[in-house]
Amino acid sequence: MKKRTFTIALICVIGICLALTAAHFIWAVYAYRHCSIIYFIGKELW
């Protein structure tokens, strides 16, 4: 595999992983704000 192709593939994979991580983080914040059970557990733990 060419170095340029490998670099592009690596950047794409890292970008997808970062996008999924950001999406999960946003979902967790949304769930924390809109779910009383998660809010209660979070409040008790912290």
Note the pLDDT tens digit of each residue in 8-19: 999 999 999 999
pLDDT of residue 43: 73
pLDDT of residue 7: 96
Domain boundaries, the chain: 3-45
What is the pTM assigned to this prediction? 0.60
- Cα(31)–Cα(46) distance, integer angstroms: 17
Task: Give the chain's residues under pLDDT 70.
Answer: 38-39, 46
Q: How far apart are the first and last CA of the chain?
A: 49
